[in-house]
Amino acid sequence: DWSSDVCSSDLHAIFFELWQEAVDHFLTKEFDLARARILVADDHEEVRNTIVRLLKRKFEVVAALGDGPTFLEAVARLKPDLCVLDISMPEMSGIEVAHRIKQSDSQIRIVFLTLHDDFDFRAAALETGAEGYVTKARMGGDLLFVVKEVLAGRRFCLSSEDGGSGANTSNRSRNAKRG
C-alpha cells in the first residue's frame, strides 16, 4: 500500500532527524565539557599541583593560586567556567571567595575540595551556591567525576561519610541525601 510506504518513510526520516539531534547534542555537550576552563585555589602548593595534574587530564586549567584575593582577581580576569576552592586559605576563606564569585557571576560553578569532612562546613559551603563538595581524602577517585557532573548541571557532595556512594543532590538520584 502506497500510503503506508509514505508514512513509514516519513517516520524513518523523523526518527533519523531526532537521532541526529540527540547525537549532536551529546557530542556538543562532551566537547564543551572538555573545553571547560577551570581555576584552582589551594594554599598548599603540593596539593594545588596535584589538583592541576588531575584536572588537566580532562579540562583546561587556566590558573592555580594560593589565596583568596588573588583568586578573585583571576576570576574577574580569566572568566572560568568552574572554580575548585579550598575552604581554609590565608587572607580570605574559600567560603567568602565563593560568596563573592556567586554575587558577581552566578553562572560560574564552584566545587569545594577540602580537608573539612564535617556537616557544618559542607552546609556553609553549599549555602554559598556552590554546586559540589569533595573531601581531599576522596580527591584522586572522585574529583574528575564531580567536576564533570557539576559542569553538566548537577550538584554533588562527597565526603568519607558517604561510604563511597556520594550524595547526588539532583532529583534523578535515588541515593540523594539531605545536607
CA-based end-to-end distance of the chain:
61
pLDDT for 156 equals 82
The per-residue pLDDT for 20 is 57
CA atoms of 125 and 167, how far apart (whole Å): 15
Give the pTM.
Answer: 0.73
Per-residue pLDDT of the chain (179 residues; tens, 9 = 90+): 444 444 555 665 665 566 555 545 544 444 466 689 999 999 999 999 999 999 998 999 999 999 999 999 999 999 999 999 999 998 999 999 999 999 999 999 999 999 988 899 999 999 999 999 999 999 998 999 999 999 999 998 876 555 444 444 443 332 333 33
Of the candidates 139, 133, 140, 128, the one whose C-alpha atom is nearest the C-alpha of residue 104 is 128
Alpha helices by DSSP H, 86-138: 94-104, 119-127
pLDDT at 13: 61
Q: How far apart are CA 158 and CA 122, in angstroms?
A: 9
Q: What is the pLDDT of residues 54-100, one digit of tens each?
A: 999 899 999 999 999 999 999 999 999 999 999 999 899 999 999 99
